Amino acid sequence: MNAIPAKLQEQLSPADAEVILRRFPEHIQAALIARAAEIEYPIAVSIISSITIAIHHPLG
């Protein structure tokens, strides 16, 4: 079985980012889009950053 290189596993394609984005409520989508525009990075970066923060700093 061929392993997928680690670099490919760590990236989120624009198409995958769009699918994930559309799963969030509209207010979360708007916040992620606004953050991506603010930092001038693709939406995938905003999604990954938000998920990473949520994992490492859970609410409650």
Average pLDDT over residues 11-16: 87
Q: How confident is the model at residue 8 (pLDDT cuts 50, 70, 90)?
A: very low
Q: Is residue 7 part of a domain?
A: no
Provide the whole-model pTM: 0.70
φ, ψ of residue 42 in degrees (nearest 5): -60, 155
Give me the domain span that covers residue 21.
14-56
Q: Is residue 47 part of a domain?
A: yes
Torsion of CA 50, 43, 10, 16, to 10 degrees: 110
Please report the pLDDT score of residue 9 as a whole number. 54
Q: Is residue 28 part of a domain?
A: yes
The number of folded domains in the chain is: 1
Q: Which amino acid is at 59?
A: L
Q: Is residue 41 part of a domain?
A: yes
What lies within 8 Å, CB to CB, of 50 at 6+ separation is 32, 35
Q: Is residue 5 part of a domain?
A: no
Q: Is residue 22 part of a domain?
A: yes
